[in-house]
Structure 1
Amino acid sequence: MKFLTKNSVFLFLTFFSLVIMACESNFRDVQKMGFAAFSPSGDADAINLKYTDSGRITATLISPKMLDYATVEYPFTEFPKGIHLTLFDKNGKQTYIDAKYAVSHKTTNLIDLQNNVKISNQNGEMLETEQLYYDQKNEWFYTEKKFKFTSSKGVSYGEGIDFSKDFKKVNSQKISGEIQSE
C-alpha cells in the first residue's frame, strides 16, 4: 500500500509539473499577444480633407493613403504614401507642402514631414529638405537637416532652419550661397 501512495504522489507531482509548464507556455503566448504590432483604427484611400476655422478654409490635405492610430497611447495619423498640403493664411495666400511620408501627432500638434520635402509659396520661394517639422499651433516650420532655399534673391544652402509658414521670419544656421541684399 505504501508503494501505491508513493506512486500516486509521484504521478501527482509529474502531472502537476506538466500542468505548470503548459500554463507557463500559455502565459508566454498571452504576453506575446500584447506585444503584437498594433493596427490602425482607421484606414482611408485617396483622401481630400478640408480644414476650416469659423467657416474659412485654413488647409487642404490630399493623400493617396491615410492610417489613423487614434486608439494607441500617443495617437497619430500616418501618411505612408505622402501628402500634398495647402495652408491658407487670413488673406488667402497659400503655402504648399509636399512630402513622400508624413506623421501627424495628435497630442503635440506636430507634423513630421519626411523624404523629399518641398515647401513653397505664391511668391516663388521654395525650401527643400529631407525632414521638416510643422508646429500647427504656432504655424512654424523647423529642421536640423540640410536644406536648399530658393527665392527671387538667389539660392542658399544650409543645415538647420526655422521659419514662419509665409517665410517672413526665417532663422537659419550654417548657411552658404549667394543672396542679393535689398
Structure 2
Amino acid sequence: MLLKHNKDLFMVIAIVMTMFVSCGKNLNEVNKLDVSANEPIGVAEVINLKYTDSGRLKANLISPKMLDYSNREFAFSEFPEGVHLYLYDKDNNKSTVISDYAIVYDQTGLIDMQGHVVLATSTNDTLFADQLYYDQNKQWLSTNQPVKFRTKGDLINGNGFDSDVNFKEAEVLEINGIITLDE
C-alpha cells in the first residue's frame, strides 16, 4: 500500500514538473513574441512620401527616419527624427510644416506632429505650436495646444487653432492677446 502511494505521488510530481517545464518553455516563446510585436516591422531612412488625389500632389512628407508599425492592429508610422511636410492647395501654392517628431496613422490619414512645430503658409503667415494635427482626408489643420500665429499685420496668441489647408478659414481659438506689428 505504501509502495502504491509512493508510485501515485511520484506520478503526480512527474506530471506537475512536466507542466512547469512545458509552461516555462512556452512562456519564454510568448515573451519573445510580445517583444517583437512592440518592435517596428521595418525601419527606413531618407523618406519621401507623396500623397496624391486624382493625380494632383496634395502633400509631401520628408524625414530622415521612419519606423513602420504596420504589424499593429492600429497601424502607424513613426518619424522619431522629425518631418518636413509640404501641403499644396488647388492652385499648387505650398505651405511648409516642420516638427521634431511625427506619427502618421494609416487607417485615419491623421498626421500628429509634435515638438517645435512651425507652419509657414504660401502667403508668409506663420504658426508656432507644440503640437499640430493634419487630417489628410479633410485637408484640415488643428490643435488644442497654445499657439502663436503671425500674419502680415498681427501676432496672435491663443489656445488652439483650426484651418483649412488654404488658410482661408484660419482661426486662432481662445485668443489671449493680439500684438499689431509695424510694417
With the length of structure 2 as denominator, give the TM-score of the two structures.
0.88
Which stretch shifts more, 33-42 or 59-68? 33-42
Q: Separation in 2 of the partners of 1:159 and 1:122?
A: 23
- Tell me the secondary structure at the aligned position of residue 161 of structure 1: strand
Per-residue CA deviations over 1:53-77 (Å, capped at 9, x if unaligned) read: 3333222221100112222101111
* CA shift in 2, pair 1:68/1:97, >3 Å: same
Q: What corresponds to 1:28 in structure 2?
A: 27
CA offsets, 1:75-115, max 9 Å, x none? 11111110001111121111101011000111111110000
Asked whether the 8 Å contact 2:156–2:172 carries over to 1, the reply is: no
CA contact (8 A) 2:120 2:126 kept: yes
CA distance in 2, matches of 1:34, 1:48: 31
The separation in 2 between residues aligned to 1:107 and 1:68, in whole angstroms, is 14
Matches within 5 A, 1:51-66: 51-66=51-66
Aligned partner letter, 1:139: Q
Q: Secondary structure at the match of 2:16?
A: helix
Alignment length, in residue pairs? 179
The alignment partner of 1:10 has SS state of helix
Q: Give secondary structure in 2 for the equivalent of 1:148.
A: strand
2:62 corresponds to which letter in structure 1? I
Tell me the equivalent position of 1:74.
74
Matched, 1:134 2:134: yes
Distance 1:49 1:112 in 2: 15
What's the CA shift string for 1:19-53, capped at 9, x where partnerless?
A: 23323433433443443252222321012233333
AA at the equivalent of 1:116: H
Q: Secondary structure at 1:155's aligned position in 2? A: strand
Aligned match of 2:154: 154
Aligned residue for 2:11? 12
Unaligned runs of 5+ in 1: none
For structure 2, the residue ranges without an aligned partner over 5 or more in a row are none
Percent sequence identity is 35
For the aligned residue pairs, the C-alpha RMSD in angstroms reads: 1.9
Length-normalised TM-score, structure 1: 0.88
Deviates more, 1:43-52 or 1:21-30: 21-30
What is the DSSP-based 3-state SS (H/G/I as helix, E as strand, rest coil) of the residue aligned with 1:35?
helix
Q: Are 1:115 and 2:154 an aligned pair?
A: no
- Contact conserved, 2:85 with 2:97, CA < 8 A, in 1? yes
User: Whole-Å Cα distance in 2 between the matches of residues 177 and 87 of structure 1?
Assistant: 27
Question: Residue 10 of structure 2 aligns to a residue in which SS?
Answer: helix
